[in-house]
């Protein structure tokens, strides 16, 4: 989200050309293109986070916490816990060994930017829930990020949709760090803020998990894209 939604760019907003060093941290030292090195460091800071002003590739990057320490594919673990029969700790290899789901959908941020036909690959969240064995007492799902701040939540029915995946590939390659890699949630029927980046824990909660990071700040807790709630999964 980043740009103060629906409000004119106000005095809180400082348009800063970040020092090249800061851009390097935010966008990764392995930035592949000149675009990423030269253009991406032009960022808008609005008091809630940092948003790249110009697309990098087809995307903008957004993080409420600014730079997030990278986690390598080898050290990455995803925990599934809380109200489950069998808590899981999954490596990236474990995730890749599970049945694959591919989705191609527009990625839509509530602030107005949209990326058409983004290809995602991962494992259905429902697959992980089934493997962990959701307890009858579970009321919802809470997602945590290794940025240490961002959270998201889904109802059990939302979490079981066919178009909600734990994604490890995007646009034909690994989910890169800036996009929340090695693993992020991709919740196709909802606005981008539901797709938590740098996912490291999925928790089945005994109470209603309530709002996540942005819903706590006024956004709709469900975040349905127009028409998407009743939509059936379109694989591909």
State the binding partner of 61 from ligand MTE, Mo ion, none, CB within 5 to 8 A by kind.
ligand MTE
Determine the size of the site formed for ligand MTE (CB under 6 A).
20
Query: Taking CB under 6 A as the criterion, which residues in 122-161 touch ligand MTE?
Result: 145, 147, 150
Residue 125 CA neighbour count, 13 Å, CB half: 31
Q: Is residue 179 a contact point for ligand MTE (CB under 6 A)?
A: yes
Tell which residue, 201, 206, 211, has the closest CA to residue 81.
201
Based on DSSP, count helices (H) and strands (E) in the chain, helices before strands.
5, 14
Interacting residue with ligand MTE among 49, 140, 209, 223 (CB under 6 A): 49
State the binding partner of 150 from ligand MTE, Mo ion, none, CB within 5 to 8 A by kind.
ligand MTE
Q: Is residue 43 a contact point for ligand MTE (CB under 6 A)?
A: no
Interacting residue with ligand MTE among 26, 40, 43, 64 (CB under 6 A): 64
* Cα–Cα distance for residue pair 201/185, rounded to 1 Å: 11
Kindly tell me which of 76 and 198 has the beta carbon lying closer to Mo ion.
Answer: 198
Instruction: Provide CB contacts within 8 A for 229, sequence distance 6+.
Output: 189, 222
Tokens 């000149």 belong to residue? 34
Query: Taking CB under 6 A as the criterion, which residues in 105-124 touch ligand MTE?
Result: 109
Q: Token digits for 127? A: 């697959």
φ, ψ for residue 194 (rounded to 5)?
-75, -20
Q: Residue 110 Cβ, how far from ligand MTE at the closest point, in Å?
A: 7
Q: Is residue 63 a contact point for ligand MTE (CB under 6 A)?
A: yes
Query: Taking CB under 6 A as the criterion, which residues in 191-230 touch ligand MTE?
Result: 192-193, 195-198
Rg of the Cα trace of the chain?
A: 17
Q: Is residue 190 a contact point for Mo ion (CB under 5 A)?
A: no
Provide the 10 A C-beta neighbour count for residue 85.
9
Residue 135 CA neighbour count, 13 Å, CB half: 17
Interacting residue with ligand MTE among 61, 76, 120, 168 (CB under 6 A): 61
Q: Is residue 1 a contact point for ligand MTE (CB under 6 A)?
A: yes
Q: Token digits for 214? A: 């942005």
Interacting residue with Mo ion among 192, 209, 212, 223 (CB under 5 A): 192
* Cα–Cα distance for residue pair 184/186, rounded to 1 Å: 6
| Binding footprint of Mo ion on the chain (CB under 5 A) | 1, 109, 192-193
| Binding footprint of ligand MTE on the chain (CB under 6 A) | 1, 49, 59-64, 109, 145, 147, 150, 179-180, 192-193, 195-198
């Amino acid at each position: 989200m980043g740009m103060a939604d629906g409000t004119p760019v106000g005095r809180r907003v400082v348009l800063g050309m970040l020092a090249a060093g800061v851009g390097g941290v935010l966008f990764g030292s392995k930035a592949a293109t000149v675009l990423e090195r030269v253009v991406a460091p032009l960022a808008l800071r609005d008091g809630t986070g940092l948003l790249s002003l110009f697309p990098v590739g087809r995307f903008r990057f957004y993080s409420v916490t600014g730079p997030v320490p990278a986690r390598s594919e080898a050290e990455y673990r995803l925990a599934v816990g809380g109200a489950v029969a069998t808590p899981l700790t999954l490596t990236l290899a474990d995730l890749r060994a599970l049945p694959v789901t591919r989705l191609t959908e527009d990625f839509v941020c509530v602030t107005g930017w949209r990326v058409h036909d983004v290809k995602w690959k991962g494992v259905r969240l429902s697959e992980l829930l089934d493997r962990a064995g959701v307890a009858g007492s579970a009321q919802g799902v809470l997602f945590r990020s290794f940025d240490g701040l961002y959270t998201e939540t889904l109802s059990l029915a939302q979490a079981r949709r066919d178009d909600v995946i734990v994604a490890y590939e995007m646009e034909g390659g690994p989910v890169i760090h800036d996009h929340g890699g090695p693993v992020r949630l991709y919740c196709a029927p909802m606005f981008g803020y539901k797709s938590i980046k740098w996912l490291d824990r999925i928790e089945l909660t005994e109470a209603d998990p309530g709002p996540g990071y942005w819903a706590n700040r006024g956004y709709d807790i469900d975040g349905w894209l127009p028409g998407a709630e009743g939509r059936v999964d379109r694989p591909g």
